[in-house]
Structures are given as structure tokens and as C-alpha cells.
Amino acid sequence: MSQLTERAYAKLNLALHVRGKLPDGRHRIETIFAFCEDGDELTAEPADDLSLSITGPFADALQANDDNLVLQAARTLRDAAYVTAGAALVLDKRLPVASGIGGGSADAGAALRLLTRMWATDPNVAENVAPALGADVRACLRSQSCRGEGAGDQLEPIDLGLAGIPVLLTNPRIPLSTGAVFAGWDGVDGGPLGNWREGRNDLETPAIGLVPEIADVLGWLRGQPDATFVRMSGSGATCFAMFDDIAARDAAAGACPADWWHLATRLR
């Protein structure tokens, strides 16, 4: 089998309500996941053992060691599916790390999809092992819009009717620890998540407390002509704006401050 490629689609939380704690200590959330057309790229070739190399603009922020979620996903799937083959994996890291748009979870989901194809395993095996790799991995494995509850790993597919909507992602190039942001949540249950447009991101306040520049990004996006919806994704620091047309999105992308990272893309 020749080289296979899989995209690790950038994840967006259109809304994220923190409702409390689960018995295992994780936070209980209600969220709406959506996914962009673009993201990291993962390739694999058949090999006797598992290996990973990392390239791309954000390669220096990761190490190809046993803690990398791509290798963890590969080993977990191989063990669960009783596979003896290996794979030479290359991750083109195009998205910033620790930025609220999937990151390692999206890469792990891509690894599970790619190796399920390469090793011809039952797709249900990847679905079953995904939650053990991280709360968002199952959503990123599917990479389709859905509602997430529990720790974010109890999923219900939904049709948002947003496929093809232009969206601009941007952040101030400051990594932000998910654990630190959740630790800063005030513990107040603001109520259930209904319509995502009328919802909120309960992690926005603690994230801004850690990285005040997020408020600048949100304010800038809200000031862009024809931006129809603006919110921070996940635990930050990436924020996003939807636009009615590509021209308006591209105009905003062209005006984005030079010291911020940005990605002009569309929703899947």
C-alpha cells in the first residue's frame, strides 16, 4: 500500500457551557462542535514499527515522543485491533498548539481514521478507543458537527446547516493550557445550552484572565465588516468569526494584525 493522507480538521466550539463536575473530577459540559475544512495534515506509509516525524510551521512546539497523541492513538488502535503492522507517520503541524481548536485531539482523530484505513480494521475499534485518548478525540475522530455532553465525549450528530460558511480563525500566538482555563472557571452553572447562537463560552472569562489579548482579538473580530458571529473556541486563545461571503472573510484576513496567527477557511 502506498502513502495515505488524512487531514486533522480544526475544531470549533460554537458554544460551550460548563455545567459542573463529573464523578471522575472532569468538568461536565454542553457544547456544539463544528469543524473547518482545513487543519494539520497526517501521512503514513507501511512500516515494520511505529514512528513519527513532525514538520510544518508549528513543528518546534511538539516532540515526536511517547507523549505525542498521534503515537498514542496509533499504539492504542494497534493493540485494540490486534494489528502487528507498523506505520511511518509524518505530521505537518499547520495549526498552533494549545489554542482551543483541537490540536492534539484532531491529530489523534486523524491518526485513528488513517490507520483504520491502512490496517483495514473495524471502524468501531477507533470509535471505542477514542475517549481514552482525550475528551475531544471522539468528536475529532468524526469531524462532523455534533452536540457534546458529559466531558464532551457523549455525542449526538446534528445538522447545523453551516457547511461552506466562510470563517476566519485568529489568535495572538500565545499558548493557553486547557487545564489552567478550566481551573479558573468560577463554578457557577449558567444554565443549559439550547440554541448555540444564543449560548456562550463559559471559559472565555478565565481565558481572558490568563491571556488578556483574547479580549483584543474578540473586539477586533467584532469590528470587522460583515462578521455575522464571533466567539472564542474551546479554552482559547483562538477566536473565530463567520461571514456571509468569502470576499468579506478575505478582507478581514488581509487586515489581520501581522503578529497574530490567522486561518481563512470554511466550515465542513
Catalytic positions: 11, 136
Q: Calculate mean pLDDT across residues 154-164.
A: 97
Domains 4-156 and 166-266 share a fold: no
166-266 placed in CATH 3.30.70.890: yes
Is the pLDDT reported for residue 48 higher than 80?
A: yes
Rounded Cα distance between 265 and 126, Å, is 27
Rounded Cα distance between 241 and 247, Å, is 14
User: pLDDT grade, residue 250 (50/70/90)?
Assistant: very high
Q: Looking at the chain, which runs of residues are DSSP E strands?
A: 4-21, 27-47, 50-55, 86-92, 146-149, 154-157, 166-171, 227-232, 239-243, 261-266
pLDDT value at residue 121? 97
Is the pLDDT reported for residue 139 higher than 70?
A: yes
The domain spans of the chain are: 4-156, 166-266
Is the pLDDT reported for residue 238 higher than 90?
A: yes
Q: Which residues pair with 243 in a beta bridge?
A: 227
Is the pLDDT reported for residue 268 higher than 80?
A: yes
Q: Are 104 and 67 in contact (CB under 8 A)?
A: no
User: pLDDT grade, residue 1 (50/70/90)?
Assistant: low
Is the pLDDT reported for residue 133 higher than 80?
A: yes
Is the whole model's pTM more than 0.85, yes or no? Answer: yes
State the angle between helix axes of 104-118 and 69-80 in degrees (0 to 180), rounded to the nearest 10.
Answer: 40
What class does CATH assign to 4-156? alpha beta
pLDDT value at residue 2? 84
Condensed to tens digits (0 to 9), the pLDDT of residues 160-216 reads: 999 999 999 999 999 999 999 999 999 999 999 999 999 999 999 999 999 999 999
